[in-house]
Amino acid sequence: MGTAFAYMEAVHQNTIMQANEPGAGTPPLALSGNHAGHHFNYQGWDVTLQLDGVSREGHVSGHADLRAGNYSCRLVLATPHGDGASALRALAQRARTLIADREALAASIKRSGGDTNPA
């Protein structure tokens, strides 16, 4: 357990350094215990990124929670990432893509006169 925690702490430090580099595309992180995360707004949506842990093989796991109005969902990393910065970038990109797709669908439905809040 101590080794896993030490490794996660090293991942956090590496992630913070990479995330804070100019042009890195991932905003600064908040650390809490053995987790790292970030919150941002995108096109009126609240997005929370969270690194959850590191496997014995060194793969970083994480998720993104997205909320807008009465809609919410969770995206989970499905591919292995060797560091926290790449995991956060992947989650942020997937969140933005889902939001853009959902907004495009809502606009299309609205133009056709249908319900703008598909379930």
Please tell me the pTM assigned to this model. Answer: 0.66
DSSP 8-state secondary structure symbol assigned to residue 109 = H
As a whole number of angstroms, the distance between CA 82 and CA 55 comes to 10
Render pLDDT for 71-114 as a digit per residue (tens, 0 to 9). Answer: 999 999 888 888 888 899 999 999 999 999 999 998 898 888 87
Count Cβ neighbours within 10 Å for each residue of 50-77 and write b for 16 or more, e otherwise: bbbebeeeeebebbbbbebeeeeeebeb
Domain positions in the chain: 2-111
Are the beta carbons of 89 and 81 closer than 8 angstroms? no
Q: Looking only at Cα atoms, what is the longest distance across the chain?
A: 58
Are the beta carbons of 36 and 26 closer than 8 angstroms? no
Render pLDDT for 8-39 as a digit per residue (tens, 0 to 9). Answer: 444 444 444 344 333 444 444 444 445 578 89
Collapsing DSSP to helix, strand or coil, 38 comes out as strand
